[in-house]
Amino acid sequence: MKVDGGLNPSESAGLLIRKETTVMAKVRTKEIRGKEAAVPGGGAELSRRVGLGSVLVRAKQALREVMLSAGTDVLMAMLEDDRAALCGPKHKQSEERENYRHGYDTGPLVLGGRKVPVRKPRVRSIDGDEVELPSWRQFSDEDPLTDRAIEQMVVGVTTRKYERSLEPLPAGLESQGTSRSSVSRRFVARTSAQVEVFLTRSVQGEDYPVVMIDGTGFGDHLMLVAMGIDNKGEKHVLGVREGTTESEGVCRSLLQELIERGLEVERARLFVIDGGKGIRKAIREVFGAWALVQRCQEHKRRNVLDHLPKGKRARVSKALRDAWKSESETTARRLLRQLARELEPAHPGAAASLREGLDETLSVLSLGVKGSLARTLVSTNPIENLQGLLKQVVRNVKRWRGGSMALRWAVTGLMEAEKRFRRVKGYREMPQLLAALSSKIEERKAA
């Protein structure tokens, strides 16, 4: 029913609803468009962002190619500058000219652990002799190539996988010098020279009051290594000798070599060894009363436990460690001898192993040294950590072709290990150790 000529209420209500819906839709559309207009570039900017994201996967490769390409251009410019300096400006006659341009050739340069062929400008003298460009001489040095090969092999890359370990080259550049035989030849040549230098390093004027000696096997070969600790607690590889066992002869040869290189004999010195009789005898013959020997307590503990059934090992192991932690040498010796007497009836082998070299397991304790330094020097753990690094370096070598090869790898590993050396734990107590060691040796010599 119409009222005053207007619409029915139902019709009016329906129309209002439709208008509100239409208006709300328009407002939302305008707001969205307004937000897009507020951003510079609007939807185009969003499209560009999506486009950049789609090429991020190739970003590193593209950057490397650009840098390599730019580097090649710079190199060519340097070579052309060298040629201009030698020959003078191009297309300009000169009576004083001593060299002339002679076209181009292709030669190898070192790039990223490999050789790549590069277009090389040539120069000849007026006598017809080839003239080398200074920049070419600088960039053709193969030392970086050899250094890269050694570094890769030290960290565990095999010669077969050497090329795969390098970053890929851009298209158009050919890789050279990455074959298994090429890498192996460079490694052998460099390490052979390193062995000679390493084994002849002078120790004249250096002071090593503590020396640790231990051996590690490379196939059928044994590398006997001497590591010194100076008066500041710094570790140093003193020498290495190739043999088959830790025999007296091999150890004596190593010690005599150190003396020839400047190691002082008449100096109170603590030797830490694993208990090998050959090493002990060689130390006594070469250094005599100047040497105080500390037998590794951990090796002694293992040797004793090897003679016992598993059920008794825990108790005996604790008794050994408690004795070695005693406050005095006298107390520790009494407890160890008492333990040996207890083991004698049922396990005479364990008792005999404990008594053998018992006093030398207490040498550091007899000096009155306590704390971290004492715990460091009563075992061969520091040098065994060094041997562990050696094993890590040679882990990919499956066949040893002789003692020379084993020695080359050992020296390479030792040089790598020296880079990681840190001072021994308790190094601040070194002055106390030096004073007590000197006093101990003087007492022994006076007796």
pLDDT tens readout for residues 260-316 = 999 999 999 999 999 889 999 999 999 999 999 999 999 999 999 999 999 999 999
Reduce the DSSP state of residue 250 to 3 states and report it: helix
Same structural domain for residues 317 and 340? yes
Same structural domain for residues 152 and 213? no
Q: Answer yes or no: is 53 within a domain.
A: no
Same structural domain for residues 178 and 210? no
Work out the pLDDT band at 171, boundaries 50, 70, 90: low
Same structural domain for residues 150 and 235? no
Q: Answer yes or no: is 51 within a domain.
A: no
Cα 82 to Cα 99: distance, rounded to the nearest angstrom: 12
Same structural domain for residues 213 and 105? no
Are 229 and 210 contacting, i.e. CB atoms less than 8 angstroms apart?
yes
Same structural domain for residues 258 and 166? no
**Position 24 pLDDT exceeds 50:** no
Are 420 and 369 contacting, i.e. CB atoms less than 8 angstroms apart?
no
Cα 42 to Cα 131: distance, rounded to the nearest angstrom: 62
Are 339 and 316 contacting, i.e. CB atoms less than 8 angstroms apart?
yes
Same structural domain for residues 165 and 259? no
Cα 249 to Cα 279: distance, rounded to the nearest angstrom: 9
Token couple for 404? 């020379």
Q: Answer yes or no: is 139 within a domain.
A: yes
Last residue of a domain, which of 172, 195, 218? 195
What is the domain count for the chain?
A: 2
Give the number of residues written for the chain: 447
CA distances from 275 to 117, 150, 294 (A): 57, 35, 9
Q: Answer yes or no: is 225 within a domain.
A: yes
In terms of residue numbers, what domain contains 74?
A: 65-90+98-195
Select, from the ranges 30-39, 180-189, 192-201, the one with the highest average predicted confidence (pLDDT).
192-201
Give the tens place of pLDDT for each residue, 104-160: 888 887 766 777 788 889 999 888 899 988 888 877 766 566 777 777 777 777 777
Q: Answer yes or no: is 49 within a domain.
A: no
| pTM above threshold 0.85 | no
- Pinpoint the alpha helices (H) of 161-296: 162-165, 180-199, 248-260, 277-287
Same structural domain for residues 344 and 309? yes
Are 162 and 114 contacting, i.e. CB atoms less than 8 angstroms apart?
no
Cα 127 to Cα 100: distance, rounded to the nearest angstrom: 10
